Amino acid sequence: MASDETAPEHVEIWTDGGCKPNPGPGGWGAVLRFRGVERELSGYEAETTNNRMELTAAAAALEALKRPCKIVLHTDSEYLKNGITRWHTGWVRKNWRNAAGDPVKNMDLWRRILDAAKPHAIEWKWVRGHSGNPMNDRVDILATQARETRGG
């Protein structure tokens, strides 16, 4: 049996992203919770889409981890959850083409997420947005503040 020092850390992550208008200025936010400590991350892009911000939040959160972890990542983006749990294997098999044969949108971010996810065991959980989930509301606020203040 592994000692506590070698067992993977358990991390809870919540992510959100958006822009207004879409496309337009965007922001993303993430909260990582580990051993009772929370870390907030957020960022801004001048010209982007909602989907790109959702993906950027997940990529940045995973990239912030320094060692392999057991993660539950919460997102209100069905695009992110379905892309990572259902669609990406087909895209990779088809050389990053979708079912219609067109290049996959946001391929750079999907690859970034897949690379960042490799060392981890991740459970991807979808949560309904704007439904009173305190952590989802919190990352929504982080993303909105990043957009409105241009990241700082």
The Cα 112–Cα 37 span in angstroms is 26
Pair of tokens at residue 65: 């981890």
Amino acid at 41: L
> What DSSP string runs through 112-134?
HHHHHHTTSEEEEEE--TTSS-H
Instruction: Return the active site residues.
Output: 16-17, 54, 76, 130, 140
Nearest alpha-carbon partner for 49 in 116, 127, 10, 105:
105
